[in-house]
Amino acid sequence: ARSAVRVLLRRARMGSLLPMVVGMTILATPTLAAEDAPRLYAEHCAACHGGDRLGAIGPALLPENLGRLRKAEAEKVIAQGRPATQMPAHGDKLNAEQIKALAEYVYTPLAAVPAWGMAEIKASRVINVDPASLPAKPQWNTDPLNLFTVVETGDHHVTILDGESFKPLTRFQSRFALHGGAKYSPDGRFVYLASRDGWITKYDLYTLQIVAEIRAGVNTRNVAVSHDGRFLMVGNMLPHTLVALDARDLTPLQVIPVVGDAGATSRVSAVYTAPPRASFVVALKDLPEVWEIPYADDAGPVMNGFVHSYEKGHEEGISPGGRFQAIRIRIPDFLDDFFFDRTYERAMGASRDGTKGLVVDLDIKRKIAEIDLPGMPHLGSGIIFAKDGHDYMATPHLKEAVVSIIDMQTWKTVKRIPTLGPGFFMRSHENTGYAWIDVSMGKEKDAIQIIDLSAMEIVRTLRPAPGRTTAHAEFDRSGKHVLISVMEAEGELIVFDAESFEVVTRMPMKRPVGKYNVFNKINYSSGTSH
Ligand code: DHE
C-alpha cells in the first residue's frame, strides 16, 4: 500500500493525477515531503520538542505557541538553528523540501490541544511529605545561608553544595530540563525549581528531600516567589496562562488567562517579584503590555473588590473571584524580559527583535525612556552597581561582543566595554569591586573576563579549562569566592578566590549550568539575578 501511495504521490506531483482525484482532498495537494513530515519530526525534533509536540527541553511546536514567528522564519530556524538556544542547524541533514514540510507540520494544529487548566494542574500534584511534619532545624551542620543549588543539565540532577567546605551535601534527580534561576523561600529553607515542561518542585534544604511537585503548564517559562513566601507565580508559554500556587504545599490557587484586547492571548516571557510593591511583574511575548499583579492582603484602592482572604481562598482550593488581578500597562513594544531599578518602580526591558530597550515606570504606568541595547541580553543577566553615588546597570549581549553600562538616572549608555565575544551571564557582589562575565556565545567559549567596576575596564581574562565552554559565575555569601561552570557533558564546577582570581578547588559535574547562593538570592543582592 505504501508503494502504491508513493506512485500516486509521484504522479500527483507530475500533474497526471489531477483528473483522477477531483473531490479526494487527501490527494489534492500532496507532496512526498508532506507525507514524510511526521516521520521527519519523530527523527529530528521529537527528542527535544516532545513526541506529541507539547514541548520538553525545547518549546512546544504548535501554532498557538509559535506566535509571531512567520513560517519562512521557522524554515530558516530549522535550517540554521537559533542563536542563544540549544536549537541546532538541520540544513546539513535535511533538504529544502523536507524543511518546508517540517515547518508546515509544526503550524498544523493538533487534532486536540490538551487542556491544562485547574483540573489538570490539580490532578498532577504529588505530595511526598506533609510540610507540617518537617523538623524545625537543618539536619546537617553548616551555614544554611551559604548553600548553593547547582543545576546539572547533563543528566538532569541538582547538587546542593555547602558553600563553606565546597563539598556536596546531596545530589538528586530533577525533572527534565530545569531552566532559569532556582528560587528560595524568604528564610532560605526551601528551594523551588521550574522545568521547561511545566513541573514545579519544592525541595526542603533542611531535610534534603522533595516536598511536593506539580505540573503548572505544558511549557513553562519561569517561576517567582512572593517576598513574603506565601505564593508562587508560574509564567507559561503553553497554555497562555499564569498560575498562582500556595507556596506551602503547591496547592493551585488560580489560573490567570493571559488575554489582551479583543481576546488576543500571549505567552509569558518572564515573571518576577517586586518586593517593595508586594507584586508580581510580568513581561509578555505577544502583547505590548507589562502586567503587575499585587498579592498583598491590603493592597489599597486599586484592589478594592478583588481581595479575598488568603486562608479562605486556600480552603476552597481556588480563590473564587480570583485574588490575583492584573493591572495592564500598555507599552509601545514587546518586552522579552526586564530588570528592576533598586526601588522597583522602574522596569528596564529589552525587546528581543529590536535594537533598543524601554524603561517602564510601574507607578505612572507608561514608558518613560528608551535605552540603547544592541543585541538582546539573556534574560536576568545583568547587575546593578554604584559608583560615585550613582547607580549603573551593566549587561552583556547575546549577539555583540560588548558589555553595556547604562546610567540609571539619565538612561544613557555611558560605556561599551569590548569583550572577547558575546556572553550570557554577568555577576558581582556587594563585597567586591569586580564583575565576572562569560563570553560563551562567541568563538572563545573558554574565556572568563573580569571587569573592574570603578574603572569600567576588563582587568583579567581567565581560561580555567582551555577549549571548554565556561559560563555563569555566582558569588558565595561573603563575596570572597566565585563559582564558575564548565558547561560540558563531563564538566566541572570551579571555585575561584574573588580577589586573587586563583583557583581554590574544582569538582566534576555533568554539564553544570546555573548555581544559586541562598544568601545572595534571599537578600536580593544587586550583583545577581532575582
Ligand atoms: Fe535562559 C534564566 C530565557 C537560553 C540558562 N533564561 C532565564 C530566564 C529566562 C530565560 C526568562 C529567567 C528565569 C528566572 O530565573 O526566573 N534562556 C531564555 C531564553 O529565552 C533563551 C535565550 C532561549 C531558550 O532556550 O529559552 C535561554 N538559558 C538559555 C540557555 O541556552 C542556557 C545557557 C542553558 C539552558 O539550560 O537552557 C540558559 N537561563 C539559564 C540560566 C538561567 C536562565 C542558568 C538563570 C540565571 C541566573 O543566574 O538566575
Q: What is the pLDDT along the chain (530 residues), one digit of tens a residue?
A: 344 434 333 433 333 333 333 333 333 344 555 568 999 999 999 999 988 898 877 878 888 667 667 899 999 999 999 776 688 999 999 999 999 999 999 999 888 767 899 999 999 999 999 999 999 999 999 999 999 999 999 888 999 999 999 999 999 999 888 988 999 999 999 999 999 889 999 999 999 999 999 999 988 999 999 999 999 999 998 899 999 999 999 999 999 999 998 899 999 999 999 999 999 999 999 999 999 999 998 654 443 333 333 444 444 444 445 889 999 999 998 887 788 999 999 998 877 666 688 899 999 999 999 988 766 777 668 899 999 989 999 999 888 899 999 999 999 999 999 999 999 999 999 999 999 999 999 999 999 999 999 999 999 999 999 999 999 999 999 999 999 999 999 999 999 999 999 999 999 999 999 999 999 999 999 999 88
Asked if residue 17 lies in contact with residue 7, where contact means CB atoms within 8 angstroms, the answer is: no
Q: Which one, of 333, 338, 368, lies nearest residue 353 by Cα?
A: 333
Q: How many helices (H) and strands (E) does the chain have?
A: 10, 33
Q: Which residues contact 371 (CB under 8 A, 6 or more apart)?
A: 348, 356, 357, 358, 359, 406, 411, 413
C-alpha cell at 109: 494544529
How far apart are alpha carbons 297 and 261 in whole angstroms?
Answer: 28
CA atoms in the 13 A half-sphere facing the CB of 173: 2
Kindly give the distance from the C-alpha atom of residue 330 to the centroid of ligand 1, in angstroms, as a whole number.
26
Q: Which cell numbers hold the place of 7? A: 506512485
Interval between CA 255 and ligand 1 midpoint (Å)? 24
Residue of 61, 178, 179, 487 to mutate, ligand 1, most atoms within 8 A of C-beta: 179
Give this prediction's pTM: 0.85
What residue type is assigned to position 14 of the chain?
A: M
Which of 223, 282, 285, 379 has most ligand 1 atoms within 8 Å of its beta carbon, as the pocket-test mutant? 379
Q: Are 179 and 193 in contact (CB under 8 A)?
A: no
| 295 alpha carbon – ligand 1 mean position (Å) | 26
Q: Alpha helices of 224-350 — where are they, by DSSP H?
A: 310-316
Alpha helices in 151-264 (DSSP H): none
Q: Report residue 369 as a C-alpha cell.
A: 525612556
Instruction: Indicate the residue type of 26.
Output: I
CA–CA distance, 519 with 504 (Å, rounded to integer) = 21
Pull the grid cell for residue 250.
503547591
Ligand 1 atom closest to 530 (CA): 49
Pocket residues: Cβ below 6 A from ligand 1: 84-86, 153, 179-181, 221-222, 270, 337, 378-380, 424, 472, 513-514, 529
The span from the first CA to the last CA of the chain, in angstroms, equals: 58
* Secondary structure letter of residue 329 according to DSSP: E
Residues near 144 by beta carbon (within 8 Å), at least 6 away in sequence: 138, 188, 189, 205, 206, 518
Distance of CA 5 to the CA centre of its chain: 45
pLDDT score, position 6: 44
List the Cα angle 232/310/192 in 5-degree steps: 15
What is the number of the ligand 1 atom nearest to the C-alpha of 177?
A: 36
State the pLDDT at residue 353: 63
Other CB atoms within 10 Å distance of the CB of residue 387: 15
The reported pLDDT for the residue numbered 289 is 95
For residues 81 and 89, the answer to whether their CB atoms sit within 8 Å is: yes
Q: Which atom of ligand 1 is nearest to the CA of 513?
A: 44
Pick from 508, 511, 118, 45: which is nearest to 318 by CA?
Answer: 118
Q: How far is the CA of 143 from the centre of ligand 1 (A)?
A: 28
Confidence (pLDDT) at 399? 84
Q: Say how many Å lie between the CA of residue 471 and the centre of ligand 1.
A: 12
Q: Whose CA is nearest to atom 43 of ligand 1?
A: 180
